[in-house]
Amino acid sequence: MDSGQLKKDYLILGLEPDSSLLDVERAYQEKRKLYDIDSLATYSLFDDEDRQMKLSDIQNAYRNIVQHLAHGGASTPPCPEAGDEEEQGRTDQREDTLEINGQPGCYLKKLREKAGLSIRDVADRTKIGRFQLENIEDERFDKLPATVYLRGFVLEFARMVGAPDPAGVAGVYVERFRDEKRV
């Protein structure tokens, strides 16, 4: 990605180029709320087409910045298999960014594996069905329950596997879920 486009992306989100991933996530959420169809602040300022263009620009800027910060501009890789030693090493180095780089399910899977837990172990301890946990890890959004249940499941899953910010992981996961449902 060229540096000119990246500068524009930071401007779209109202950020400085040295912003952290957490800052990027917060700015993205704030901008999305600002231009949401239900936003009282902007509903009379933009027609539906302008609003959709703004939301699209915000989404693209967010993705570009996160890719740049987390992967040096490469596209988001698939969740690596547990036995892949080279990939495992890279994952451990960027573990703190996986939750917000578009792969919260992969992040949870890696934390679960690092903790030495099987899906059954997590299911037994959290009382969340194995099927639901597998769908969460694999991000099978069409098979997941309603948002209110999903948030609780992901929050409990994240707590069980030792995520440093379980509520943040749940928030990112639910946003990803909502984005997929809109498409």
Categorize the per-residue pLDDT at 2 as very low, low, confident or very high, splitting at 50, 70 and 90: low
Q: Which pLDDT score, from 0 to 100, does residue 178 have? A: 87
Categorize the per-residue pLDDT at 101 as very low, low, confident or very high, splitting at 50, 70 and 90: low
Q: Which pLDDT score, from 0 to 100, does residue 158 have? A: 92
Number of domains in the chain: 2
Same-domain status, 175 and 109: yes
Q: Which pLDDT score, from 0 to 100, does residue 93 have? A: 40
77 in a domain, yes or no?
no
Same-domain status, 129 and 173: yes
Which has more confidence, 82 or 174? 174
Same-domain status, 46 and 101: no
Which has more confidence, 164 or 157? 157
CB 24 within 8 A of CB 62: yes
79 in a domain, yes or no?
no
From first CA to last CA, the distance across the chain in angstroms is 25
Domain containing residue 55: CATH number? 1.10.287
138 in a domain, yes or no?
yes
CB 136 within 8 A of CB 105: yes
Q: Which pLDDT score, from 0 to 100, does residue 94 have? A: 41
Same-domain status, 118 and 61: no
Instruction: Look up the domain containing 26 and give its range.
Output: 3-71
Given a cut of 50, whether residue 90 has pLDDT beyond it is no
26 in a domain, yes or no?
yes
> Which tens digits make up the pLDDT trace of 63-77?
888 777 755 443 344
Q: Which pLDDT score, from 0 to 100, does residue 18 have? A: 79
Domain stops at, among 46, 71, 96:
71
50 in a domain, yes or no?
yes
How many whole angstroms separate alpha carbon 144 and alpha carbon 136?
A: 7
14 in a domain, yes or no?
yes
Same-domain status, 95 and 177: yes
Same-domain status, 100 and 64: no
Q: What is the pTM of this model?
A: 0.51
Same-domain status, 101 and 174: yes
> Which tens digits make up the pLDDT trace of 106-150?
889 988 988 889 999 999 999 999 999 999 998 888 899 999 999
Q: Which pLDDT score, from 0 to 100, does residue 102 have? A: 64
> Which tens digits make up the pLDDT trace of 8-63?
888 988 888 877 777 888 888 888 888 887 777 776 777 778 878 888 888 888 88
**Which structure tokens are listed for 114?**
């690092």
> What interhelical angle do 119-126 and 147-160 show, nearest 10?
110
What long-range pairs does 43-52 form, CB within 8 A, spacing at least 24? none
Same-domain status, 99 and 14: no
Same-domain status, 41 and 90: no
80 in a domain, yes or no?
no
Same-domain status, 91 and 65: no
**Pick from 94, 53, 96, 54: which is nearest to 74 by CA?**
94
Same-domain status, 89 and 175: yes
Same-domain status, 39 and 121: no
